[in-house]
């Protein structure tokens, strides 16, 4: 099973994992690294390294970070290794849930494809709710009058 490590500023990583587990149950081979404002980059990098080792069961690890260019992402990128560690930025709850669920399927062993699917799910789950609801309302009115 491909491991998942969530690395973010503050407590976001821990809370994302907690929320995902509240929705889909316990997630094996997942861990969170929350980087505090006071934490040295060296300490944070060691913590990320330990988390990757913990999560990896031999099939690689996907590291999810909060934003490209931030300390969590920059430190995580130092572990990028084709076929072993992949990094996806912009983590959100739908992305984490999708990755955790995909790992359970037969084809959940391809690290790069799993990371790419997580990125797609993360982007596809972002909506401008007012526009989405207005379109649904328009469709409902059209169906009533047609």
C-alpha–C-alpha distance, residues 47 and 32, integer Å: 10
From the candidates 1, 7, 9, 99, which is the catalytic residue? 9
Spatial CB neighbours of 31, under 8 Å, sequence gap ≥ 6: 3, 4, 5, 6, 17, 51, 54, 55
Active site annotation includes 9: yes
Q: What tokens were used for 146?
A: 């047609």
* Residue 23: Cβ within 10 Å count: 10
Name the strands in the sheet holding 3-9, side by side, starting at the edge strand that comes first in the sequence: 30-35, 3-9, 61-65, 85-89
Annotated catalytic residues are 9
């Amino acid at each position: 099973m491909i491991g998942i490590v969530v690395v973010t500023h503050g407590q976001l990583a821990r809370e994302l994992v907690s929320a995902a587990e509240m929705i889909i149950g316990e997630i094996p081979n997942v861990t969170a690294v929350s980087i505090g404002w006071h934490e040295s980059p060296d300490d944070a990098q060691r913590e990320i390294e330990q988390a990757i080792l913990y999560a990896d069961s031999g099939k690689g690890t996907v590291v999810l970070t909060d934003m490209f260019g931030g300390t969590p992402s920059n430190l995580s990128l130092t572990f990028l290794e084709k076929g072993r560690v992949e990094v996806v930025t912009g983590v959100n709850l739908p992305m984490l849930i999708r990755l955790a669920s995909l790992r359970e399927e037969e084809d959940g062993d391809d690290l790069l494809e799993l990371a790419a699917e997580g990125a797609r799910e993360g982007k596809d789950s972002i909506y401008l709710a007012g526009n989405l609801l207005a379109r649904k309302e328009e469709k409902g009115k059209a169906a009533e009058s047609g």
